[in-house]
Amino acid sequence: MLAIVLATAAALCYGVSDFTGGVAAGRLDARVVALISQSLACVVALLLVVLPLAAREPSTADLIWATVAGIGSAAGNVLIYHGIAHHGATSVAPTSGIVAIAIPVAAGLMAGETLSPIAIVGLAAAVPAIWLVSSGGSHLRRDLRGVLIGAAAGAGFGLQFASLGQTSPGGGLVPLAASQGVSVLVLAAVVLTAVRPLRRPPRAAGIIAMAAGMAAGAATASFQTAVRIGDLTVVAVITSLYPAVTVVIAAIAARRWWTLREGLGLALSAAALVLIGL
């Protein structure tokens, strides 16, 4: 049950991070926003590492998986921030969530994880839930470019989730911190080698990006802890419900009520969480 609670917390925090990062990317290049965000997330991870929460003896394999996770995180964050800023949360976030489910679920099942029939029903309900959150796909059909960006972002996040799920308990949260460090290095290299110089962030956009980073750091820490005590398949699917949070916040920010389809998607998301937790 604790793993489910932590995975739900990760979904909430990722949803907040994606929305705030998208807002910042509307005023600033998404690569710079991602660099600021991931830098703050790295600070959060480093602070957690120094706390006596768990063993801290990562293996070489742990650090390799952390490197892969960091690359996936860097790509996913740039794409999701850019996509939400320029194509809207309802086009980008749902497809990112659907794709983000596939990779870690496949990794978990290949590793021999087994699920109860009720949990399988809950996992199966997560995909249409995310689809309905996007108003039954109406936004997706209108903006193919946003769909493709969301799918690419989801692939990056799926790679991150699956890779962090492969790290050993003995490594504690060191692989998490290492992955965030790799993400920062990758993004710094991208920003520094940009063809056109990227302008310094306005103060407001920088603060929003920092808030996105704090939320992303909390989300990733919750996810990493959840996979230590629960199945990767279950934790990844619950975490991948983050688009529902992003879409809800976007609707509130736009001062509009949810459509019937979006409401059904949110209800189905809640039902999926309950079924997975039984």
3-class DSSP state of 276: helix
Between CA 3 and CA 6 the distance in angstroms is 5
Between CA 175 and CA 57 the distance in angstroms is 10
Between CA 9 and CA 6 the distance in angstroms is 5
Between CA 241 and CA 8 the distance in angstroms is 8
Nearest to 99 by CA among 169, 154, 162: 154
Instruction: Answer yes or no: are the C-beta atoms of 136 and 103 closer than 8 Å.
Output: no
Residues 6 or more apart whose CB falls under 8 angstroms from that of 112 comprise none
3-class DSSP state of 54: coil
Q: What is the pLDDT along the chain (278 residues), one digit of tens a residue?
A: 788 889 889 999 998 998 998 888 888 888 889 999 999 999 988 888 776 555 567 888 999 999 999 999 999 999 999 988 888 777 787 778 778 877 887 777 777 777 677 777 777 777 777 667 655 555 555 567 777 888 899 899 989 988 988 888 877 788 888 999 999 999 999 888 875 666 666 777 788 889 999 999 899 888 888 888 888 878 877 887 787 788 778 878 777 666 777 777 777 777 776 666 55
Beta strands in 154-227 (DSSP E): none
Could you give the number of structural domains in the chain?
Answer: 1
Residues of the domain holding 181: 2-277
In our burial notation (b when 16+ CB lie closer than 10 A, e otherwise), range 191-213 reads beeeeeeeeebeeebbebbbbbb
Instruction: Answer yes or no: are the C-beta atoms of 41 and 178 closer than 8 Å.
Output: no
pTM score, whole prediction: 0.81
Beta strands in the chain (DSSP E): none
